[in-house]
Amino acid sequence: WAGVVSLPDWAGAGGSPACAGATGKTATGDGNAQMGTDFGQALLLDGSGDYILTADSADFNFGSGEFTEEGYFRESVRGPIRQIIGQHTTSAASNSSFILLSDNGKLTFQVFIGGSYYTASNPAQHALDTIHHYACLRDSGNVFRLCLNGAQVASVTQSGSLNDSNQILAIGAVMRGGAPDPGGYYFNGRIFSRRRTKGVCRYPGGTTFTPPPYPFPTA
């Protein structure tokens, strides 16, 4: 728990996606983003102008250290480049840190080091209308790993420090300089829970694991 730097407390958010979160970082919604309970408490995104934002924080600067970004999602409609979560701007790779996309139903994890980016992509589509666990992580061997439902589906090895981006952390929309990219890359589906841990690779070595239950513990 000491390494958890982002954990939205959506379970207590009611109908609004705005919440302080268990780590004290405020998340605010835009468009028609809202909380629903039809599949348990979840953030609902309809793929048309919906997203939520968290301001940049020094806690999000991972440098060359280990980290784990994970959560649960359920995609309803596929499309090219649909952002699940990222601290990224299409206007400058050098001011981007990472991004997790669904690209026609294939998870794609990109990290940004300097002006370059490195990609780990699942070659297979995930099922629609199904709850999936994702994990994006860096281990002690500088391997960036992408996991789906407890199994590694892609990886890329690269040394160096992730960019210390000053961009907002966005769920549901690809951003460009603090606003949604005009290409309209909005996620259509639900985000059930997510957690970011700094300094810890929770699932090292590329081995299979049992995804933790959600919502994640808040202490």
Within the chain, how many helices (H) and strands (E) appear?
0, 17
What whole-number distance in Å separates Cα of residue 82 and Cα of residue 130? 16
Greatest mean pLDDT range, 21-35, 39-53, 131-145: 131-145
| Segment among 8-12, 114-118, 172-176, 204-208 with least mean pLDDT | 8-12
| Segment among 14-23, 59-68, 162-171 with least mean pLDDT | 14-23
Phi/psi for 130 (5° steps) reads -135, 135
What whole-number distance in Å separates Cα of residue 177 and Cα of residue 172? 16
Note the pLDDT of residue 87.
Answer: 97
Rg (the chain; Cα; Å): 16
| 176, containing H or E segment | strand 175-176
The answer on pLDDT for 126 being more than 70 is: yes
Note the pLDDT of residue 41.
Answer: 77
Tokens 């966005």 appear where? Answer: 170
What whole-number distance in Å separates Cα of residue 42 and Cα of residue 44? 6
Note the pLDDT of residue 207.
Answer: 82
What whole-number distance in Å separates Cα of residue 116 and Cα of residue 53? 24
3-state secondary structure of 58: helix
Phi/psi for 162 (5° steps) reads -60, 145
What whole-number distance in Å separates Cα of residue 85 and Cα of residue 69? 9
The answer on pLDDT for 39 being more than 80 is: no
State the average pLDDT over residues 43-53: 92
Note the pLDDT of residue 143.
Answer: 97
The answer on pLDDT for 188 being more than 80 is: yes
Report the predicted TM-score, pTM, of the whole model to 2 decimal places.
0.94
The answer on pLDDT for 12 being more than 60 is: no
Note the pLDDT of residue 13.
Answer: 58
Asked if residues 64 and 35 have their Cβ atoms less than 8 Å apart, the reply is no
Which residue from 103, 109, 110, 145 is spatially nearest to 124, judged by alpha carbons? 103
Note the pLDDT of residue 76.
Answer: 97
The answer on pLDDT for 153 being more than 70 is: yes
What whole-number distance in Å separates Cα of residue 73 and Cα of residue 100? 12
State the average pLDDT over residues 206-217: 90
Note the pLDDT of residue 61.
Answer: 97
Q: State the average pLDDT for the chain.
A: 92
Note the pLDDT of residue 11.
Answer: 62
Which residue from 17, 49, 9 is spatially nearest to 36, judged by alpha carbons? 17
State how far the alpha carbon of 51 is from the alpha carbons of 44, 68, 167, 168, in Å: 9, 22, 15, 12
Note the pLDDT of residue 90.
Answer: 96
